[in-house]
């Protein structure tokens, strides 16, 4: 019996030798480790305590490395965070960090030379595991790297990078590769490397391997670049992956990536049942050995022989699939003839075609936080399609029964969670509203405990996230800074701040020796404060002081150049708003606001749209949502288009994300407050318009068939004239401002009037206005002209012209349901006349206005 057994083993060994000769292969191991966590990761430890914690996990690593070696493993991969755990802060992980020298510059075996670099006990331990067991070892650990802020603009404020790091040891214990994770996932303790790293290492048994970590697998760099551009065919993949069904379970996407990219993936995941972390495997394009256990609470070692992928032999082309001329015959075990014999390989390419093909209607459902379009499977076999955007999906199917509900879904868009949290996928700047952190209606005394001191970024370079204790009582700043740093985007927020002052040298200094400001603060994508602006034009804000001097604040970004910032009520005044745009040439504005809608002329999105169009700038406007106070209305506005949100009924927040062109003066030829004229404009309105209209009250009276009347609009006494009939040509004047309207409308049921105001507005602020406005009145009475209404059914084509003494005109068009619009054409003609025209609106017209601001007369 013993002899027979021996012969069997020899035969098996012979088969393996033959396999190795014809098909180069190696033995790989991955270990899914049940990590022993620090119960209080946010509390800093001393180095000895941190080592004691890490050694508990390293002892398990040592045991599993020995077991893998006994089974012939030539390489073993351990998971991300397996040594130290997770949920640290930047400060609390400091005692866990070790310096890992660049193996491209330094050849070092920590096991053989443990004292060459200080505080490298973990590296020494891992190096000795690799050397003792004669295998390559891949581990993940936290590391530090010193930097100099004078030569490296990305260097954190504390003078060191903290990286999530993969380190690879050869079978001699020498460090042969070091990779710093590029795409962080809620990892406040770590920095993104200044440049993406494409790291490979070479083994004697399988040639070249590449490495990246966990969330990296969802992005082009470094994952796809390693495979597609650099030709790497073996990847070692430490991960701490939280399962997210139905599309992103760990082994599900590991299997998909290996198959799609045509590579071998050695994936070691962390085991932490509480956090839905499990799922590891050794994947080749053809098969896999996997482990996924949501019930147990122990680690798992996987060991298997893996073929070495050779391009010339295997003919694998990444992301090309595995086609075969025999594919239709291999589809199902059922008889081939019944698998939709009439399928011709064609399917719909757009929504309208899909609708014709599908026997059931499409529906929408949220999957993985995205809005999918789906179509249900019906019957036991079928041929269905569904489209969204540029993506169309087609399914030819047969199923054993119909008891369970299946659907084919499609999504073509930006995954919003990643957009917010991962700058690589989109958002590079985010703006939050005025008063969004603290609220409003405070007294000077009651807001005191909310105040933080924000140092002048022109004098102090500071990242509150990296250096939280530099200034006392700056918890809010730290939180905001970490948001910006973690998500790698610029962040604009509004908060209350204090600034000490001395009344002996500053006559404006308040009696209590400190200024209290309504403040915008801007953080870079590294969490550094890069701008601070104190609101100039306060609106019933007893808790705050007006700054002694108006501030004109800008900051520069790498993606769009220079931005300016001001706040809410500021937008109605020359300083700082107009000066930033007209004198300083700023073309992008971030605008936190807590704006209360006031129709018919000053609803939030209405004036945001008008300011962006009139000034020729991009406006990123974030408004507060407080339905009780009529606060709603935010948007991303360019001179040409907009993405806006206005909701007076709901009570939830709203995120708006869109791609925005960078305005370049030389290219876009935009001149603030000059309009957008066209030589073709006059041909599109009315053939009988001669371009002339009245210039004073007596002329207007002769032109207009109806008598002017007065009505209160926005607390000001407007002079108006009613529209009559379905088309006409009317005028009205007040003071030096005359307004002329050429119009055609779809019906006469709703009461419209053309109004004019030339005077000083004195309620809720003092500022001089010159306004021409076409408004839908809320009733049939003249006194209803000026009332607040969001709705209108009448379609109106118009050309509105006004004579003004100011060059600062903000053209605005508001449609039914608070939809914002812009003119077809606008501009100056005949010296002091400004016009705008619009035809073909799809929504009823609520208001069309030429909102003029005469800043020189504000204090005349």
pLDDT tens readout for residues 280-323:
999 999 999 999 999 888 999 999 999 999 865 666 788 888 76
Q: Which among 187, 434, 681, 750 is annotated as catalytic?
A: 434
From the CB of residue 654, how many other CB atoms can be counted at a distance below 10 Å? Answer: 13
Q: What is the DSSP string of 468-503?
A: TTSSSS-HHHHHHHHHHHHHTSEEEEEEEEEEE--T
User: The tokens of 704 are what?
Assistant: 């207009």
> What span, in angstroms and rounded, lies between the C-alpha atoms of 205 and 792?
76
From the CB of residue 508, how many other CB atoms can be counted at a distance below 10 Å? Answer: 12
Task: Supply the pLDDT for residue 733.
Answer: 98
Task: Supply the pLDDT for residue 317.
Answer: 81
2 pLDDT tier (thresholds 50, 70, 90): very low
Q: What is the pLDDT of residues 329-338, one digit of tens each?
A: 434 333 333 4
User: The tokens of 635 are what?
Assistant: 């948007």
Indicate the SS3 state at residue 539.
coil
11 tagged catalytic: no
Task: Supply the pLDDT for residue 689.
Answer: 45
Across 801-815, average pLDDT: 97
Indicate the SS3 state at residue 633.
coil
Question: Residue 682 pLDDT more than 70?
Answer: no
Cα angle 259, 201, 15; round to 5: 60
Which is more confidently placed, 404 or 619?
A: 619
Task: Supply the pLDDT for residue 316.
Answer: 76
Buried b (16+ CB within 10 A) or exposed e, 393-425: bbebbeeeeeeeeebbbbbeeebbebbbbbbbb
214, 257 in Cβ contact below 8 A? Answer: no
Q: What is the pLDDT of residues 249-271, one digit of tens each?
A: 999 999 999 999 999 999 999 99
Question: Residue 106 pLDDT more than 90?
Answer: yes
Q: Which among 181, 271, 535, 625 is annotated as catalytic?
A: 535
Question: Residue 12 pLDDT more than 90?
Answer: no
434 tagged catalytic: yes
Q: Which among 155, 568, 694, 772 is annotated as catalytic?
A: 568
Task: Supply the pLDDT for residue 320.
Answer: 82
**20-314 carries CATH number 3.30.360.10:** no
User: The tokens of 818 are what?
Assistant: 């608070």
Distances (CA, A) of 426 to 417, 421, 830, 840: 11, 9, 45, 34
User: The tokens of 781 are what?
Assistant: 């009475």
> What span, in angstroms and rounded, lies between the C-alpha atoms of 750 and 778?
8
From the CB of residue 639, how many other CB atoms can be counted at a distance below 10 Å? Answer: 21
Sign of the four-CA dihedral 480, 482, 487, 489 = positive
Task: Supply the pLDDT for residue 367.
Answer: 87
Task: Supply the pLDDT for residue 778.
Answer: 96
Backbone angles phi, psi at 810, to 5 degrees: -115, 100
> What span, in angstroms and rounded, lies between the C-alpha atoms of 9 and 529?
68
Cis peptide before 560 (omega within 30 of 0): no
Which is more confidently placed, 398 or 336?
A: 398
860 pLDDT tier (thresholds 50, 70, 90): confident
The percentage of the chain sitting over the pLDDT mark of 70, rounded to a whole number, equals: 88
To the nearest 10 degrees (0 to 180), the angle between helices 121-133 and 47-70 is: 10
User: The tokens of 222 are what?
Assistant: 């470094």
> What span, in angstroms and rounded, lies between the C-alpha atoms of 767 and 575?
12
> What span, in angstroms and rounded, lies between the C-alpha atoms of 516 and 520?
13
- Name every residue whose Cβ is closer than 8 Å to that of residue 292 and which is 6 or more positions away in sequence: 249, 250, 251, 278, 279, 280
Q: What is the DSSP letter of 80?
A: T
> What span, in angstroms and rounded, lies between the C-alpha atoms of 452 and 466?
17
Give the DSSP H/E element, type plus range, for residue 254.
helix 250-261
Q: What is the DSSP string of 578-640?
A: IIIIIIT---EEEEEE-PBPBTTTB-HHHHHHHHHHHHT-EEEEEE--BGGGTB--EEEE-SS
Task: Supply the pLDDT for residue 418.
Answer: 36
Q: What's the mean per-residue pLDDT of the chain?
A: 88
Q: What is the DSSP letter of 739?
A: E
Question: Residue 342 pLDDT more than 60?
Answer: no
Indicate the SS3 state at residue 648.
coil
User: The tokens of 252 are what?
Assistant: 């599900």
Q: What is the pLDDT of residues 20-78, one digit of tens each?
A: 445 689 999 999 999 999 999 989 999 999 999 999 999 999 999 999 999 999 999 99
Q: Where are the alpha helices (DSSP H) in 89-234?
A: 121-133
Task: Supply the pLDDT for residue 422.
Answer: 23
Task: Supply the pLDDT for residue 313.
Answer: 62
The pTM assigned to this predicted structure is 0.56
Indicate the SS3 state at residue 394.
strand
78, 33 in Cβ contact below 8 A? Answer: yes
326 pLDDT tier (thresholds 50, 70, 90): very low
> What span, in angstroms and rounded, lies between the C-alpha atoms of 123 and 114?
9
Nearest to 76 by CA among 171, 151, 204, 162: 171
Domain with CATH 3.60.110.10 in the chain: 20-314, 428-668
750 tagged catalytic: no
> What span, in angstroms and rounded, lies between the C-alpha atoms of 98 and 1?
55
Q: What is the DSSP letter of 217?
A: G
Q: What is the pLDDT of residues 113-135, one digit of tens each?
A: 999 999 999 999 999 999 999 99
User: The tokens of 227 are what?
Assistant: 């495979």
Residue entry with tokens 């209590």: 512
- Name every residue whose Cβ is closer than 8 Å to that of residue 258 and which is 6 or more positions away in sequence: 264, 265, 283, 284, 285, 288
Give the DSSP H/E element, type plus range, for residue 166.
strand 160-169
402, 380 in Cβ contact below 8 A? Answer: yes
Q: What is the pLDDT of residues 127-157, one digit of tens each?
A: 999 999 999 999 999 999 999 988 888 898 8
Indicate the SS3 state at residue 590.
strand
Q: In the sheet where 833-838 sits, what is the strand order? A: 727-734, 737-745, 796-803, 833-838, 825-829
Q: What is the pLDDT of residues 229-247, one digit of tens each?
A: 999 999 999 999 999 999 9
Q: What is the pLDDT of residues 406-435, one digit of tens each?
A: 999 998 887 743 332 222 224 799 999 999
> What span, in angstroms and rounded, lies between the C-alpha atoms of 660 and 656?
12
Buried b (16+ CB within 10 A) or exposed e, 238-267: bbbbbbeeeeebbbbbbbebbbebbbbbbb
Cis peptide before 620 (omega within 30 of 0): no
From the CB of residue 380, how many other CB atoms can be counted at a distance below 10 Å? Answer: 11
Backbone angles phi, psi at 243, to 5 degrees: -65, 135
Superfamily the domain 428-668 falls into: Carbon-nitrogen hydrolase (3.60.110.10)
């Amino acid at each position: 019996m013993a002899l027979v057994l021996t012969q069997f083993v020899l035969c098996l060994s012979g088969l393996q030798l033959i396999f190795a000769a014809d098909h180069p292969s190696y033995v790989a191991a991955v270990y899914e480790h049940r990590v022993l966590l620090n119960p209080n990761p946010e509390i800093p430890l001393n180095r000895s305590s941190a080592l004691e914690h890490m050694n508990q996990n390293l002892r398990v690593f040592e045991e599993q490395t020995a077991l893998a070696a006994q089974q012939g493993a030539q390489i073993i991969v351990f998971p991300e965070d397996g040594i130290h755990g997770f949920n640290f802060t930047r400060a609390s992980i400091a005692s866990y960090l070790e310096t890992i020298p660049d193996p491209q510059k330094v050849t070092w075996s920590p096991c053989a030379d443990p004292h060459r670099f200080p505080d490298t006990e973990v590296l020494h331990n891992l190096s000795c595991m690799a050397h003792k067991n004669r295998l390559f070892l891949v581990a993940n650990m936290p590391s530090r790297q010193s930097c100099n802020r004078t030569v490296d603009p990305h260097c954190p404020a504390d003078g060191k990078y903290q990286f999530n790091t993969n380190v690879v040891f050869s079978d001699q214990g020498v460090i042969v590769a070091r990779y710093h994770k590029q795409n962080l996932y809620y990892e406040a303790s770590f920095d993104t490397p200044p440049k993406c790293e494409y790291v490979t290492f070479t083994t004697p048994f399988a040639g070249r391997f590449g490495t990246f970590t966990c969330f990296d697998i969802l992005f082009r760099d470094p994952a796809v670049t390693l495979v597609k551009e650099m030709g790497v065919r073996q990847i070692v993949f430490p991960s701490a992956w939280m399962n997210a069904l139905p599309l992103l379970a760990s082994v599900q996407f590991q299997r998909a990536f290996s198959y799609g990219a045509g590579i071998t993936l050695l994936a070691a995941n962390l085991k932490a049942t509480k956090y839905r972390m499990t799922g590891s495997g050794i994947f080749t394009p053809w098969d896999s050995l996997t482990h996924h256990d949501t019930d147990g609470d122990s680690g798992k070692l996987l060991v298997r022989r893996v073929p070495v992928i050779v391009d010339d032999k295997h003919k694998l082309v990444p992301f090309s699939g595995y086609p075969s001329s025999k594919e239709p015959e291999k589809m199902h075990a059922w008889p081939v003839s019944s698998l939709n014999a009439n399928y011709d390989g064609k399917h719909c390419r757009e929504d309208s075609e899909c609708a014709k093909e599908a026997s059931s209607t499409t529906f929408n459902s949220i999957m993985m936080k995205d809005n999918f379009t789906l179509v249900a499977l019906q019957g036991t076999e079928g041929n269905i399609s569904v489209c969204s955007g540029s993506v169309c999906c087609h399914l030819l199917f047969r199923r054993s029964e119909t008891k369970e509900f299946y659907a084919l879904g499609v999504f073509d868009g930006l995954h919003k969670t990643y957009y917010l949290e991962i700058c690589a996928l989109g958002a590079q700047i985010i703006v939050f509203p005025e008063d969004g952190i603290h609220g409003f209606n405070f007294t000077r005394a009651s807001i005191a405990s909310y105040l933080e001191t924000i140092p002048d970024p022109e004098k102090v370079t500071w990242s509150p996230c990296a250096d939280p204790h530099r200034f006392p009582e700056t918890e809010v700043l730290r939180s905001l800074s970490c948001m910006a740093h973690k998500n790698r985007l610029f962040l604009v927020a509004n908060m209350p701040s204090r600034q000490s002052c001395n009344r002996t040298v500053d006559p404006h200094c308040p009696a209590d020796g400190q200024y209290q400001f309504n403040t915008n603060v801007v953080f870079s994508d590294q969490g550094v404060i890069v701008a601070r602006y104190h609101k100039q034009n306060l609106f019933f804000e007893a808790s705050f002081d007006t700054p002694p001097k108006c501030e004109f604040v800008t900051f520069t970004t790498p993606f769009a150049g220079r931005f300016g910032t001001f706040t809410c009520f500021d937008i109605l005044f020359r300083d700082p708003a107009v000066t930033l745009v007209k004198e300083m040439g700023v073309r992008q504005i971030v605008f936190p606001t807590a704006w209360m809608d006031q129709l018919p002329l000053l609803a939030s999105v209405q004036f945001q749209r008008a300011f962006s169009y009139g000034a020729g700038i991009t406006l990123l406007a974030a408004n507060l949502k407080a339905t009780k106070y009529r606060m709603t209305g935010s948007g991303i506005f360019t001179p040409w288009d907009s993405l806006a949100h206005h909701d007076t009924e709901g009570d939830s927040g709203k995120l708006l994300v869109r791609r925005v062109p960078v305005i370049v003066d030389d290219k876009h030829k935009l001149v603030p407050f000059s309009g957008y004229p066209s030589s073709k404009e006059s041909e599109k309105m009315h053939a009988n318009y001669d371009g002339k209209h009245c210039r004073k009250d007596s002329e207007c009276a002769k032109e207009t068939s109806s008598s002017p009347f007065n009505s209160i609009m926005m607390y000001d006494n407007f002079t108006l004239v009613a529209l009559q009939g379905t088309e006409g040509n009317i005028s009205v004047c007040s003071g030096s401002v005359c307004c002329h309207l050429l119009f055609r409308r779809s019906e006469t049921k709703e009461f419209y009037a053309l109004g004019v105001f030339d005077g000083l507005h004195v309620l809720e602020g003092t500022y001089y206005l010159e306004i021409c406005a076409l408004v839908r009145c809320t009733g049939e009475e003249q006194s209803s002209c000026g009332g607040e209404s969001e709705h209108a059914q009448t379609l109106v084509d118009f050309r509105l012209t006004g004579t003004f003494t100011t060059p600062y005109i903000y053209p605005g068009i508001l449609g039914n349901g608070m939809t914002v619009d812009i003119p077809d054409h606008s501009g100056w003609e005949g010296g002091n006349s400004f016009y705008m025209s619009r035809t073909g609106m799809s929504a009823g017209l609520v208001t069309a206005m030429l909102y003029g601001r005469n800043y020189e007369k504000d204090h005349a």
